Amino acid sequence: MYIDGSTGGTAIVVDSLGNAYVTGSTNTTNFPITSGAVQAALGGTTDVFVTKVNAAGSALVYSSYLGGFQSASASGIALGASGSVYLTGAAGDGFPTTSGAYQTTFQYDPSNSSGIAPDIFVSKMTGQDVGLSPGSVTFSSQQVGTASLAHVVKLANSGSTTLNISSITLTGTISGDFAQTNNCDSSLAPNAICTITVTFTPAATGTRTATLEVQDDGANTPR
């Protein structure tokens, strides 16, 4: 499967269920991001990406940028307990750090002529078994009162247990401008996907937005 254009993968690891975790670097602003991503937009000239692909290679379970306002690149990835992911690589200033980290600020290198030699980074990301991809969709300009072409969003369950789905809805003050149909049953088997088709029929001119929300019994619900 393809993932993106101006992107390079540097490391991959596979879990016991066959899901693939890929990392590398990207400088594109439209890298595919899923709902719940830790960083939804490109932060520097080049960012790390981390992407989880389901075992069938048919859907992204989780995909996110990771970086600051200077370049960052990943060189290694490993799996921990409960699907957590460990990343390492090199990063410039502004890379996100957590409270209690061994080093929370970027250290400039006075021996480097520019003073901007990258630091090593180590990051741990919480595992996620259920994901919506893409994390957002953008419709092109649409004449008032006419229906758009459909966008398809995939709901993927990469875990080892059945996901029980209670509702799939569109929310927001102007959610009536959007409609969704889906082939998702009340439960989604392990390593399975279902699809949600969304269309847009604007009732007025201007920017129109809504949120697609999935309620289920998995972690981090709603999506």
The confidence score (pLDDT) of residue 110 equals 56
- Of 93, 108, 125, the domain-final residue: 125
The confidence score (pLDDT) of residue 116 equals 56
Looking at the structure, do residues 64 and 98 belong to the same domain, yes or no? yes
> Which one-letter amino acid corresponds to residue 99?
S
Q: Give the count of domains, the chain.
A: 2
The confidence score (pLDDT) of residue 7 equals 74
Q: Which domain holds residue 29?
A: 7-125
Q: For each successive 10 residues of the chain (223 residues), what is the average pLDDT?
A: 76 92 93 89 92 90 92 93 88 88 78 63 88 89 96 90 94 95 94 94 95 87 75
Note the pTM of the prediction, 2 decimals: 0.80
The confidence score (pLDDT) of residue 25 equals 94
Looking at the structure, do residues 54 and 112 belong to the same domain, yes or no? yes
